[in-house]
Amino acid sequence: MKAAQINEYGTDVVEINNNAGMPATSPGKVLVKVHAAGVNPFDWKICEGYVNQSRKFSFPITIGGDFAGTVIDVGEGVVQYEKGDSVYGSGLFLSGGSGTFAQFVSTGENLLAMKPEKASYQEAAALPLVGVSALDVLSHKMKLQKGQKILIHGGSGGIGSMAIQIAKHMGAYVATTARKDRALYLEDLGADEIIDYKEEIFEEKLQEYDAVFDTVGTETYRRSFQVLRKGGIIVSMLEQPDKELMDRYHVNSLAQSTRITSDSLRKLSGLFDNGVIRVSIDRVFSLDEAAHALEYQRNGTVKGKVVIALLQEG
Ligand SMILES: NC(=O)c1ccc[n+]([C@@H]2O[C@H](COP(=O)([O-])OP(=O)(O)OC[C@H]3O[C@@H](n4cnc5c(N)ncnc54)[C@H](OP(=O)(O)O)[C@@H]3O)[C@@H](O)[C@H]2O)c1
């Protein structure tokens, strides 16, 4: 089969292998024909070696985590899925999957759910990591309440786009930071207040917020403490809690580490099928263009999500 693989960590290391080995169907695993794979910043970070170096993985590694496709075989003990089911989820090698930038992926049944019925394969492939991250942070880490005020950084990115829609659905007032030319897109997602992060200083405009969702990190994380009321909370996708700032501003700070589960994917499917969330596909690449897709995700000003299409929709 064809797969996008790496044989070393670094930049420019992605190779297309036309003779990659077919993933095996083993107990507890599901073999899926991949229709589309979603691209996340984590994919290029893995290529560059931002993985736990204490865990050794043997090359070649087939890259890619998010995907949607059709079940073609199931391993011993799998009862929830059968041949022909349309599923989506994660096939990341770090979670025991065989990698999704490939024609076929084998992954644990606990990392899958049935694809949202109203989503195309490309839309479903774009959802898992960003959707589960947004849902988990807002519902479990922050326990966001109706009427609360939240600042979501990076509103036009993958996680930010999801978080705006889910936070609005939960009844919050949502401010978000993004580039100026994203304003219409963000209003359409439901944002109440949009701050141009290139020209405006968000901490001068927003005060007494209940929560900040940080998808950007570094100085954006540290400046965000000024926006929060005492007892407020900031959850970051990138930064570990800064004890000194927590004490100074009397706020809570948590780091998010997203784990995709069948349960969280099922909730996400419900939100999609009920029209609470939708996903904007910024650009579609072929598997042969996997390296370009990663580069575009990294350097482009992406609106929503980038996907790799392996099969035509329909
Ligand atoms: N901890 C975990 O478990 C976990 C899980 C998933 C993702 N992540 C990490 O979370 C981060 C966000 O993921 P994602 O998928 O949402 O990435 P993404 O789609 O690339 O979105 C990031 C967004 O941040 C915006 N941005 C950049 N600088 C900004 C600034 N100074 N102020 C406001 N917005 C800014 C970008 O906008 P422009 O392009 O317009 O500048 C982009 O829209 C990534 O670093 C990813 O690796 C962590």
Residues 174 and 225 in one domain: yes
Q: Whose CA is nearest to atom 36 of ligand 1?
A: 154
Could you tell me if residue 83 is inside a domain? yes
Other C-beta atoms within 10 Å of 30: how many? 29
Sign of CA dihedral 305, 223, 221, 132: negative
Task: Find the helix or strand (DSSP H, E) in which 189 lies.
Answer: helix 183-189
Shared-domain flag, residues 146 and 177: yes
Q: Is residue 271 part of a domain?
A: no
- Does residue 261 fall inside a structural domain? no
Together in a domain, 50 and 139: no
Average pLDDT over residues 136-162: 98
Which phi and psi angles does 310 have, rounded to 5°? -100, -30
Give 312's pLDDT tier (boundaries 50, 70, 90): confident
- The total number of structural domains in the chain stands at 2
- φ, ψ of residue 271 to 5 degrees: the values are -65, -40
pLDDT for residue 183 is more than 80:
yes
For residue 55, what pLDDT band results from cuts at 50, 70 and 90? Answer: confident
* pLDDT tens, residue by residue, 228-258: 999 999 999 999 999 999 999 999 999 999 9
Does residue 71 surpass a pLDDT of 70?
yes
Q: pLDDT exceeding 70 applies to what percent of the chain? A: 99
Q: How far is the CA of 67 from the centre of ligand 1 (A)?
A: 20
Percent of the chain with pLDDT over 90: 96
Q: Would you state the pLDDT for residue 51?
A: 80
Residue at 267 is within a domain: no
The closest of 88, 20, 98 to 64, measured between CA atoms, is 98
Instruction: Read off the pLDDT of each residue in 124-141 and give the average, rounded to a whole number.
Output: 98
Same domain, 29 and 108: yes
Residues 284, 217: one domain? no
Give the pLDDT score at 57. 83
* 169 and 65 within one domain: no
Co-location of 142 and 232 in the same domain: yes
Mean pLDDT value across residues 13-20: 98
Q: Can you give the CATH number for the domain in which 210 is found?
A: 3.40.50.720
As a whole number of angstroms, the distance between CA 238 and CA 121 comes to 29
* 102 and 25 assigned to the same domain: yes
- Output the six-digit token pair for 179: 């580039």
Residue ending a domain, among 240, 255, 270, is 255
pLDDT at residue 217 is higher than 80: yes
Closest ligand 1 atom to residue 305 Cα is: 19
Residue 8 is assigned to a structural domain of this protein: yes
Same domain for 76 and 57: yes
State the closest ligand 1 atom to the C-alpha of 300, by its place in the atom list counted from 1: 39
Residue 96: pLDDT above 90? yes
Q: Which residue matches tokens 């482009």? A: 300
DSSP of 220-281: HHHHGGGGEEEEEEEEESS----HHHHHHHT-EEEE------HHHHHHHHHHHHTTS----E
> What pLDDT sits at residue 56?
77
Distance CA 94, CA 91 (A): 9
Place 53 in a pLDDT band, splitting at 50, 70 and 90.
Answer: low
Identify the residue whose C-alpha is closest to ligand 1 atom 24. Answer: 154
Q: How far is the CA of 173 from the centre of ligand 1 (A)?
A: 21
Does residue 25 lie in a domain region? yes
Within a domain: 177? yes
Q: Which atom of ligand 1 is nearest to the CA of 302?
A: 39
Atom 42 (ligand 1): residue with closest C-alpha? 157
Same domain membership, residue 122 and residue 134: no
How do residues 59-70 score in pLDDT, each as one tens digit? 999 999 999 999
CATH code assigned at 62: 3.90.180.10
What is the best residue among 52, 186, 193, 216 to mutate for testing ligand 1's pocket, by most ligand atoms within 8 Å of CB?
A: 216
The pLDDT score that the predictor gives to residue 252 is: 98
Q: Mutate which of 177, 237, 260, 299 to test ligand 1's pocket (most atoms within 8 Å of Cβ)?
A: 237
Shared domain for 134 and 251, answered yes or no, is: yes
pTM over 0.75: yes
> Is 200 part of any domain?
yes
Asked if pLDDT for residue 54 goes beyond 70, the answer is: no
Residue span of the structural domain in which 293 resides: 3-127+279-309
- The reply to whether 122 and 39 lie within a common domain is yes
